[in-house]
Amino acid sequence: MEFRPYMHVGRLIDDPETYGMLDENDYFVIEPKIDGCNAVIWWDEEQKKLRCGNRNRELSVTDNGSNFYQYVEVHKELEELAKNIFPFCYIYGEWLVENHIDYYRPEAWNKFYIFDVWDTRQNCYIAEYPQMINKVADFSGDIIKVDRQWIYFSPHTSADEKMREFEKILKTMNKSGYLLNPGETRSGEGMVIKCYDWRNSLGEQKWAKLRTEEYMQKVYTPRHLKDQESIEEKIVRKFLLQRDIDKVVAKLKQNKCFDQWDKKYIGDLLTAMWYDFINEYMPVIADIYKHERICFHELRKALNARIKHLRCDLF
């Protein structure tokens, strides 16, 4: 089995790919749309190994898709899932690393949220995959399925009425804040609307998306109106993870023999983080950004600011 990209999810209205979806269906599956990176895993029986990819290509040690490749290597339950529960299938999900939304709960980051399974034998996405995962008692909480709900309409409900109901659901869903901190006033990305039995005019199985106004404004604000992000800030946002900070904090506690964090160690933390960041990531950064001019002074400033953002409790 070779790499297979996930479908393009079209807009619910004014999109040729999803035209007729509202008119021709009375039931729908609704899921929150997560703002991370599209990812996929699959078991290759011929090579006897688990393979993985992002939206566009298969991943490897050197092309790791924001560390998704390493995540898959470590979490062996994903191999068991692909090999024993979904052979001949592609398991799609969201690898939650920072994209446009940077205010998900701290514990939500760097996890794989499954939202679809494509069965190569049936040649379609299958609706029953959550129940298939639930049957396996041995899997831990690291197997995460995106929340979903089923919506049913009477046969005489018009497309406009369905649309109004979806907009109400969207507001409710974002108030509940899937993966967001309690009390968070900013919204999520939106929701995905599925109907597993429906095919569009081209015979394709297609889903639709409905995004929040806040997210649309955030993403599609013209570049010249946005705060410009420096190349150094982009690098730090891409590579620095909270677990990197946690690792250095634990090392400091061990070396300096203390249990409770004290702000007097902030200087030691920032210095250690700088050396760890350079030693661990600089070879990859130099390769990816070899045509960019990087100022190390600005890079260190960006690193310090990012540390304060991710672990504000230490400052």
The last residue of one of the domains, among 175, 194, 220, is: 220
pLDDT of residue 222: 55
Tell me, what CATH number does 105's domain have?
3.30.470.30
* pLDDT for the residue 82: 94
- Looking at the fold, whether 246 and 189 belong to one and the same domain comes out as no
Structural domain contains residue 150: yes
Parallel, antiparallel or unpaired: strands 208-211 and 10-11:
parallel
Total-model pTM: 0.70
Question: Angle formed by the axes of helices 266-288 and 296-310, to 10°?
Answer: 120
Question: Do 103 and 17 belong together in one domain?
Answer: yes
pLDDT of residue 185: 85
Contact criterion met (CB below 8 Å) for 112 and 65: no
Residue 304 and residue 209 in one domain: no
Using one digit for the tens of pLDDT, what is the confidence trace for 13-50? 878 889 999 999 999 999 999 999 999 999 999 999 99
Final residue of a structural domain among 156, 187, 220: 220
Identify whether residues 130 and 245 lie together within a single domain. Answer: no
Q: What is the domain count for the chain?
A: 2
58, part of any domain = yes
310 pLDDT more than 60: yes
d(CA 22, CA 122): 25
Instruction: Provide, rounded to the nearest whole percent, the portion of the chain with pLDDT above 70.
Output: 94
Model confidence at 133, in pLDDT bands (50, 70, 90)? confident
Residues 173 and 293 in one domain: no
Domain containing 274: what range? 231-314
Tell me, yes or no, whether 162 and 275 share the same domain.
Answer: no
Looking at the structure, tell me whether residues 200 and 236 fall in a common domain.
no
Domain co-membership, 101 together with 180? yes
CA distances from 191 to 33, 117, 119, 142, 174 (A): 4, 18, 23, 23, 9
